[in-house]
Amino acid sequence: MKKYGFGVDIGGTTCKIGLFETTGKLLEKWEIPTDTQEEGKNILPDVAASLSQKMKEKGIPQGEVEGIGIGIPGPVEANGVVPVCVNLGWKDMDVPKEMQSLMEGLPVKAGNDANVAALGEMWQGGGKGCKSLVMVTLGTGVGGGIIVHGQIVAGANGAGGEIGHITVNPHESIPCNCGRKGCLEQYASATGITRLAKEWLAQGQGESLLDQAGEVSAKSVFDAYKQQDKAAQEIVGKFARILGNALSNIACVTDPEVFVIGGGVSKAGAPLLEAVEVAYQEAAFSSCAGAKFALASLGNDAGIYGGVKMVLE
Amino acid sequence: MKKYGFGVDIGGTTCKIGLFETTGKLLEKWEIPTDTQEEGKNILPDVAASLSQKMKEKGIPQGEVEGIGIGIPGPVEANGVVPVCVNLGWKDMDVPKEMQSLMEGLPVKAGNDANVAALGEMWQGGGKGCKSLVMVTLGTGVGGGIIVHGQIVAGANGAGGEIGHITVNPHESIPCNCGRKGCLEQYASATGITRLAKEWLAQGQGESLLDQAGEVSAKSVFDAYKQQDKAAQEIVGKFARILGNALSNIACVTDPEVFVIGGGVSKAGAPLLEAVEVAYQEAAFSSCAGAKFALASLGNDAGIYGGVKMVLE
């Protein structure tokens, strides 16, 4: 094992880059803008220039770098090829091949950003010490990443871990962004929780702190929940039941050691985690009921941690 | 790679044993009774004696045997230890350790029988050529096995692939064998299909071939379905929708290349496969909608094929 590795998390506006020791220690992190002009043809050269510059600055020779692992905001095939990435303008981009030719042959791997973040949380975050994990990212949507035998489950079509699109309510009338109806994402994302709250409040079932909070949001719901607000308890209860049921079904597939909950909504912290864990335990198949629950702990750095971990295997 | 390997599928009444070439060719198969007396303490010695006898008979030296892979009818930890197996009377049985000491140190692996059968179907059966697969066994119950990166997903508690206990109907009033309510197994097993049929016929919605068929069964339902019987079409349609929806949710977790359908109910063949595939495609997240569907092709031999495959990795 060489001494250093790079993790890169390419987003639609910035690329996050981390220089790591292969022990897992993050030495330095920085960002560069993502240039999506001209079908994103400058993105990888820009990243490569930034990595080379850093190696020069730190006096790190090529021979001391284990490799470069890159997270991409879209589906990535198991070999690192990106068929289409709308956010970056890419089509049929062979990320390992392109990047390797820019970096004098250093080993390069690429994966979907949600899956890579899951690997990061397994390595140095909320799932540390585990080899099988389900990462649940509660943000504007619901993302996920599945780890089995310590490795990312990319899936045959790059759709491994697309748990936000598990159908949880076949009777839903409003469509999800994916065009189908009743996806987990419609209830368990920040947007989904806000919607559950508005529906509850519209029923006028009594006073609530949420009536005075101005614009209702996932954050205001969890703030009121922490103050034992009755309406917030009902709303969080419904959210937790839907998510807990979905996770209990996932457990019947890969039976993970731990569920790691991340994303903006997870900033609600321990009370959210506890509500979801209790709902999970009520719904779970008995063998799986003891799965651990943990909050993601790497925040926005999960992608660079997971990136470098990809090239350490 | 050595020339030979053994696959063993231990059941509650008989142990199936196969002698294979490591190329995948089944040379010979036979059965011995499973002696469950005295907490099943004779089971592994009986199997070992049978294997030694066969090696002697064929003149196969120890050095030409790659190993022995064993399927067990219960949960098996990733290291091959069986915490409890009610069917065999075992408690805390370290299968690899015990069997290895009986077979002069030959490599031994053990796995849950449904998972091992899935591996067999991947290697030489309905999923041949694929590295990611979901096996669905429609029998008295609904079993399953998940393969990712060419390997069994045993799960943290040996519950990987327990897809029969995915909750598909939270409003069910009748309990499943597992004690919970609304499991996939309650609708998609032979028992489940029979129940769907009885419920439909009790509504008296018109004449059906099933009214004349005597005792209704999954087989009589599919026989009538093949003759375009209206009631059977409704019943199979409901079965297929429930199963297709559940598989579309599993696809959002591991995104397999192929779903392989086996078990007694799958003897209904192509019409069953087509009904499930169509229902799956209607329900699936777009990226996964192209997953292949295949019938299991190894029948009761899937376990011995998967057994030997375990020791070839």
A159 and B288 within 8 Å at the Cβ level: the answer is yes
What distance in Å separates the CA atoms of residue A194 and residue A264, rounded to the nearest whole number? 13
Which member of A156, A255, A283 has the closest CB to residue B155?
A255
Chain B residues whose CB is inside 8 A of the A248 CB are 167
CA-wise closest residue to A24 among A119, A88, A113, A114 = A119
What distance in Å separates the CA atoms of residue B179 and residue B162, rounded to the nearest whole number? 15
* E strand map for chain A: 4-10, 14-21, 26-33, 65-72, 81-85, 90-94, 108-112, 133-138, 142-148, 151-152, 258-262, 292-295
**Could you tell me if B60 and B4 are in contact, meaning their C-beta atoms sit under 8 angstroms apart?**
yes
Token couple for A289? 């009921």
What distance in Å separates the CA atoms of residue B117 and residue B147, rounded to the nearest whole number? 10
Q: pLDDT (tens digit, 9 = 90+) per residue, B21-37? A: 999 999 999 999 999 99
Asked if residue B279 has pLDDT above 70, the reply is yes
Q: Which residues pair with A81 in a beta bridge?
A: A94
The whole-number pLDDT of residue B78 equals 84
Asked if residue B281 has pLDDT above 80, the reply is yes
What distance in Å separates the CA atoms of residue A211 and residue B18, rounded to the nearest whole number? 69
Question: Whats the size of chain B, residue-wise?
Answer: 313
**Could you tell me if B50 and B34 are in contact, meaning their C-beta atoms sit under 8 angstroms apart?**
no
Query: Residues B155, B161, B162, CA angle at the centre, nearest 5°?
Result: 105
Per-residue pLDDT of chain A (313 residues; tens, 9 = 90+): 899 999 999 999 999 999 999 999 999 999 999 999 999 999 999 999 999 999 999 999 999 999 999 999 988 888 999 988 988 999 999 999 999 999 999 999 999 999 999 999 999 999 999 999 999 999 989 999 999 999 999 999 989 999 999 999 999 999 998 999 999 999 999 999 999 999 999 988 778 888 876 789 999 999 999 999 999 999 999 999 999 999 999 999 999 999 999 999 999 999 999 999 999 999 999 999 999 999 999 999 999 999 999 999 7
Mean pLDDT within B97-115: 96
The whole-number pLDDT of residue B116 equals 96
Mean pLDDT within B198-210: 87
Chain A residues whose CB is inside 8 A of the B79 CB are none
Q: What is the least distance, in Å, from the CA of A153 to any CA of chain B?
A: 6
**Confidence band for B212, pLDDT divided at 50, 70 and 90:** confident
**Could you tell me if A229 and A209 are in contact, meaning their C-beta atoms sit under 8 angstroms apart?**
yes
Enclosing H/E stretch for B101: helix B95-102
What distance in Å separates the CA atoms of residue A99 and residue A7, rounded to the nearest whole number? 13
Query: Residues B108, B114, B119, CA angle at the centre, nearest 5°?
Result: 65
Mean pLDDT within B74-103: 93
Chain B residues whose CB is inside 8 A of the A155 CB are 132, 254-256, 288
Q: Considering only alpha carbons, which residue of chain B is nearest residue A241?
A: B170
Which member of A160, A164, A179 has the closest CB to residue B255?
A160
Chain B residues whose CB is inside 8 A of the A161 CB are 252-253
**Could you tell me if B107 and B101 are in contact, meaning their C-beta atoms sit under 8 angstroms apart?**
no
Q: What is the least distance, in Å, from the CA of B159 to any CA of chain A?
A: 6
B48 φ, ψ (degrees, to nearest 5): -60, -40
The whole-number pLDDT of residue B313 equals 74
B290 and A161 within 8 Å at the Cβ level: the answer is no
What distance in Å separates the CA atoms of residue A239 and residue B41, rounded to the nearest whole number? 49
The whole-number pLDDT of residue B206 equals 79
**Confidence band for B216, pLDDT divided at 50, 70 and 90:** very high
Asked if residue B213 has pLDDT above 70, the reply is no
For chain B, what is the mean pLDDT? 95
Chain A residues whose CB is inside 8 A of the B249 CB are 166-167, 249
Report ipTM for this prediction.
Answer: 0.93
A254 and B160 within 8 Å at the Cβ level: the answer is yes
